[in-house]
Amino acid sequence: MARLLTMTQDDAAMTTIPASQTAVPQIQVRGVEKVFTVGAQKIVALQNIDLDVQKGEFVCLLGPSGCGKSTLLNAVAGFQPPTRGTVTADGKAVMGPGPDRGMVFQEYALFPWMTVAENVAFGLQIKSMGKAEITARVDALLEKLHLQDFRHRYPKDLSGGMRQRVAIARVLALDSPILLMDEPFGALDALTRRTLQDELLRIWQEVGKTILFVTHSIEESIYLADRIIVMTYRPGTIKQDVRVDMPRPRDGASAEFNRLKRDLSLMVMEEQQRFSADEIRSVTAD
Amino acid sequence: MSNASSKTSAASILRGSLVPLLVVAFWQALSSSGLINPVVLPSPVAVVVRWWAYLLPAEAYDPAQSGWFLWALSGEMLTDAWSSLYRVVLGFAVGAGLALPLGLVMGTSERAYGLMDPLLQVLRPIPPIAYIPLAILWFGLGNAPAIFLIAIGAFFPVLMNTIAGVRHVDGIYLRAARNLGAGPTTMFLRVILPAATPYILAGARIGIGTAFIVVIVSEMIAVNAGLGFRILEAREFMWSDKIIAGMFTIGLLGLAIDIAMNRLNNHLLRWHRGLDS
Ligand SMILES: Nc1ncnc2c1ncn2[C@@H]1O[C@H](COP(=O)(O)OP(=O)(O)O)[C@@H](O)[C@H]1O
Ligand SMILES: [Mg+2]
């Protein structure tokens, strides 16, 4: 299933994924293709995507911008059905968005007319959960994400990092087995970003969710993921499926980290160059 | 620090009142010079005296008749202002009450929009004032035609802005809500409606402004109380001081309505980015 790696097998940080997995994967993507038609132009955003994510796995989709990471995530979330192929989550075919696959957006997507607590409670109210239970759950989540003191604030009065904490609390409230995150920390400064990465890892280890996490940052993917899926640019395919076996917390200064970083950089750079060449072409064509 | 800021605020009050004071002084000089007939242009002093008389109760206080508070409010001006305000509020409630649900439906459903839009495009450019003959024909004289006209004046601004508000709801909120499991009712009541409130309230503000214009006009034709009626009545007696006193009162009431709308706006949109000040 996975393409063959260019790396050597004895590289401890990277090993190929065995061709057959024993457990039933929590997310199963089979033969997915997505074509956007813009005027007369056809953009093949995704082609021939096969991907299995096991229960409890933390998987990063990595690639330069425009390579179809969001499109793949949206197909799993159910926002954009693929042109061809199937997506299965928890054994059920994905037909549309749902609270079993909670999504965290890069733009936070908090409801600005709701306070922090109201945003977190929203999904629970939809489930028609009792008032007392909602309050208890919201309180626990706000505490978990260090938001207790901000519960009555509106999103406009929060920093970017705080907003993304609220967005994370909002999907955690759903208690969905799958978390989908589209460059959630992309707009944050480096320090806030690291703090939130650590908290996400802590929460993930605590509650054992399956996470599919989109990023274009190589370091972020190495810091977080059990597996890194490197994507190609137009058509968007899976270039490489890389397992990361380093113990956490991972040290960005370690030799292993940097070896992996160099290898991934080469791969991403190749795609980045195709992306830049494309951009230059489209600019000169105008 | 506070000393400096009170100094600057005193200075700004002084600066702000400079032009009005000059205008009043010029006006007073003009009427004192005797060049202009006081019926054409009464002096500012005469206007203020008349305004005060207009404000005060007509009869002396009589505890046997009514309570102190009601007596204080029994002056002609306050009765007029109250009648005008009552019509504005009622007419606005009718107009906006019809426009809001219609706008929500038209903003949400392409089909409803396609059905209703042609008719509304034809009706919208007709100024509410042009409905006066029809209003009198249909409703006779009194409050009913006035409220009909005011409702028309308030209807279109609220309708247009509600449609625009619903259509401009950012797709990211809809996606987030669908992801959280929101069904159509929740989506409408808790996402689309609040997301559209900035537009809707802007429409309400324009609508109440129009309603206030229409109330004055409609009172000049169909009723015998209210600020619009009073200044027309004063003209019949050539009381120019009372005309101007009435106009100032209309301005004050308009200002009060605007301030109230602003307060409401700030409260309902306390979550909104643009309203940090
Ligand atoms: N709605 C759309 N219409 C047309 N083209 C789109 C649309 N969404 C994405 N694309 C194109 O599909 C490709 C993949 O986009 P996307 O998944 O957003 O990339 P990424 O998230 O990796 O930056 C890009 O080339 C983009 O221009
Ligand atoms: Mg993207």
Ligand 1 near A66 CB (within 6 A): yes
Q: What percent of chain A has pLDDT over 70?
A: 91
Q: Per the CB < 8 Å rule, is A114 touching B197?
A: no
Of A234, A147, A160, which is closest to residue A190 (Cα–Cα)? A160
Q: Which atom of ligand 1 is nearest to the CA of A34?
A: 12
pLDDT at A231: 96
Model confidence over A47-99: pLDDT tens digits? Answer: 999 999 999 999 999 999 999 999 999 999 999 999 999 999 999 999 999 99
Instruction: Give residue limits of the domains in chain B.
Output: 2-58, 69-275
Q: Which residues contact B267 (CB under 8 A, 6 or more apart)?
A: none
A107 touches chain B (CB under 8 A): yes
pLDDT, average across residues B87-104: 96
Ligand whose nearest atom lies closest to the CA of A45: 1
Residue B58 is predicted with a pLDDT of 80
The answer to whether the CB of A132 is under 6 A from ligand 1 is no
Q: Which residue of chain A comes nearest to B271, CA vs CA?
A: A113
Asked if A96 lies within 8 A of B178 by C-beta distance, the reply is: yes
Architecture in CATH for domain A3-100+179-285: 3-Layer(aba) Sandwich (3.40)
Q: Determine the pLDDT at residue A10.
A: 41
Residues A10-19: tens digit of each pLDDT:
444 444 445 4
* Confidence at A154, pLDDT banded by 50, 70, 90: very high
The mean pLDDT value of chain A amounts to 90
Ligand 1 pocket test target in A34, A36, A47, A215 with most atoms within 8 Å of CB: A36
Asked whether residue A6 carries a pLDDT value surpassing 80, the answer given is: no
| Partner residue opposite B180 with nearest CB, options A79, A123, A156 | A123
Q: Residues 137 to 166 of A: which have CB under 8 A from any B CB?
A: 154-156
pLDDT (average), residues B31-51: 90
Atom of ligand 1 nearest to the CA of A231: 22
Instruction: Specify the pTM.
Output: 0.85
Angle at which helix B132-139 crosses helix B193-221, to 10 degrees, equals 80
Residue B121 pLDDT greater than 90, yes or no: yes
Residue A156 DSSP one-character state: G
Please tell me the predicted confidence (pLDDT) of residue A174.
Answer: 93
Sorting pLDDT into bands at 50, 70 and 90, what band is B5?
A: low
Question: How far apart (Å, rounded) are the C-alpha atoms in residues B73 and B93?
Answer: 25
Q: Stretch B67-92: mean pLDDT, rounded? A: 90
Residue A273, ligand 1, Cβ within 6 A: no
Query: Is B183 in Cβ contact with A126 (below 8 Å)?
Result: yes
Weakest-pLDDT range from A110-119, A185-194, B219-228: B219-228
Alpha-helix residue ranges (DSSP H) falling in B109-224: 110-123, 132-139, 143-167, 171-179, 184-186, 193-221
Question: Does B180 contact A109 at a Cβ distance shorter than 8 Å?
Answer: no
Return the domain boundaries, chain A: 3-100+179-285, 106-175
Indicate the pLDDT class of residue A256, thresholds 50, 70 and 90.
very high
CB contact under 8 A, B271 and A114: yes
What ipTM does the predicted assembly reach? 0.87
Indicate whether B276 pLDDT > 70: no
Q: How many helices (H) and strands (E) does chain B have?
A: 12, 0
- pLDDT at B135 > cutoff 80: yes
Query: Which CATH number among 1.10.3720.10, 1.10.8.60, 1.10.15.40, 3.30.1490.20 corresponds to the domain B69-275?
Result: 1.10.3720.10
Q: How many CA atoms lie within 13 A of A169 on its CB side?
A: 30
Q: What is the pLDDT of residue A27?
A: 97
Contacts of A102 in chain B (CB under 8 A): 179-180
Supply the pLDDT for residue A15. Answer: 47
How does pLDDT run across A219-243, given as a tens digit for each residue?
999 999 999 999 999 899 999 999 9
Least confident span in A22-31, B198-207, B251-260: A22-31
